[in-house]
Amino acid sequence: MSLTERFLKYVTFNTQSAEETKVTPSTPGQMVFARYLRDELQSIGLEDITLDEHGYLFATLPANTDQPLPVIGFIAHLDTSPDMSGEQVSPRIVHAYDGGDIVLSEDENIVLSPRQFPELLAHKGEDLVVTNGKTLLGADDKAGVAEIVTAMEYLLQHPELKHGKIRVGFNPDEEIGLGAHLFDVEKFGCDYAYTMDGGEVGELEYENFNAASAVVTFKGRNVHPGYAKNKMINSVRIANRFCSLLPADETPEHTEGYEGFYHLTSFMGEVEETRVAYIIRDHDLARFEARKQTMERLTRFINDEYGEGTATLQLHDQYYNMRRQIEPVMHIVDKAVAAMQTVGVTPHVKAIRGGTDGAQLSFKGLPCPNIFAGGLNFHGRYEFVPVQSMEKAVKVIVQLSVTH
């Protein structure tokens, strides 16, 4: 099976994760896909294949040399984002993209255009896998899964390429922040690993956001509006006041690079009770802590103004910047840079404005930088991946595997 055929098969599995289920994997479709992959890994000749009850799939490509080499791993996640439907994904290939508009859905007038997505023009002449405009594509991270499997198959078919022991790992629920939650690092048994979960060709990342979630619940008092003076407490208005006290220019739509933010992800309520949810992000640990302290300070401010118990804050750290775990072993980043250069890919080392399983795995003792998988516009109907980008990712994996 070719890389493209493999990817097109993988995206037909509905593997959206879901935060509300509180089980692992969070959705049954992820286990269906994991079982399919288990059988495929066996058919191409990998060994020591295990799939546990939580959807963590591990396998081994044995060393074909007696030379003592580190055990390296390649990791990708099975799930797709809950942000948009992943059911009945119907991809198609736009061959030799001409640089113009791509009509995804004629009946709904959904168009992938370089006017809104100028990154398309960097892939003029390439073969783009796109959606039908009604679902996401799932290149995040089924492109990574397909690349790893294809690279392992290539190495099995070319025993003249000498390599040490290689482990591959596929896990559920990355998109809801739980991909590394039950990942057994000791069982995986690697000196270091790489997640294949980045975007554009050449991306290489060993820094990510420090991340926290914040949920603030506001209590009110409902009284008939005709008789409400000095009696009603409108929790919706109080919540709105709280939100207005946060810096207006420190939001995702106003920040880039190393700039952190407060991101309001939901606002639900009525007079009696309103609940707002934020995610808090910053690469710098001190600024990250200061952002959390701001949430605490504003909660106290609201309670001072409207009465104790009006606002209740639930603050939860999600993951941390893996840079401090990677810097002591920077040679693994250098290896990735060299591998890219060897296969003709220009490395673009950048900080992730997000997180990966590799961040949490790094703190669990498995240093794990992130490498490009090639997809763009993740989590929505405009997602696409160039076939040529996936092919380059396969070459990087192979080169990393045979680099001594």
Domain ranges of the chain: 3-208+321-402, 210-319
Instruction: Tell which CATH architecture fits domain 3-208+321-402.
Output: 3-Layer(aba) Sandwich (3.40)
Residue 85 is predicted with a pLDDT of 92
Tens digits of residue pLDDT in 191-220: 999 999 999 999 999 999 999 999 999 999
pLDDT at 237 over 70: yes
Quickly state the pLDDT bin for 404 (edges 50, 70, 90).
low
Contact 353, 240 (CB under 8 A): no
What single-letter DSSP state applies at residue 111?
Answer: E
Long-range contacts made by residues 41-49, C-beta under 8 angstroms, separation at least 24?
41/149, 41/152, 41/168, 44/149, 44/152, 44/153, 44/156, 45/153, 45/156, 46/152, 46/156, 46/168
Mean pLDDT of 142-149: 98
Active site residue 19: no
Q: Is the dihedral of CA 320, 190, 192, 8 positive or negative?
A: negative
Q: Could you read off the pLDDT of 305-351 as tens digits, one per residue? A: 999 999 999 999 988 999 999 999 999 999 999 999 999 999 999 99
**Six-digit token string for 166:** 């290689």
Give the three-class secondary structure for 144: helix
Distance, CA of 82 to CA of 404 (rounded, Å) = 40
CA distances from 107 to 102, 104, 111, 134 (A): 14, 9, 11, 11
Give me the pLDDT at residue 226, please.
93
How far is 231 from 77, CA to CA, in rounded Å?
A: 52
Beta carbons of 15 and 33 less than 8 angstroms apart: yes
| CATH, domain 210-319, list 3.90.1640.10, 3.30.70.360, 2.40.30.130, 3.40.190.10 | 3.30.70.360
**Max Cα-Cα span within the chain:** 85
Percent of the chain with pLDDT over 90: 94
72: CB partners within 8 A, 6+ apart: 164, 166, 167, 190, 191, 192, 193, 194, 400, 401
Active-site entry in 79, 140, 153, 205: 79
Distance CA 127, CA 113 (A): 15
Residues 34-48: what's their mean pLDDT?
Answer: 98
Q: Is the pLDDT of residue 19 over 90?
A: no
Overall average pLDDT of the 246-251 stretch: 97
Domains 3-208+321-402 and 210-319 share a fold: no
Q: Judge whether 282 counts as a catalytic residue.
A: no
In this prediction the pTM is: 0.89
Q: Of residues 140, 147, 174, 205, which has the active-site annotation?
A: 174
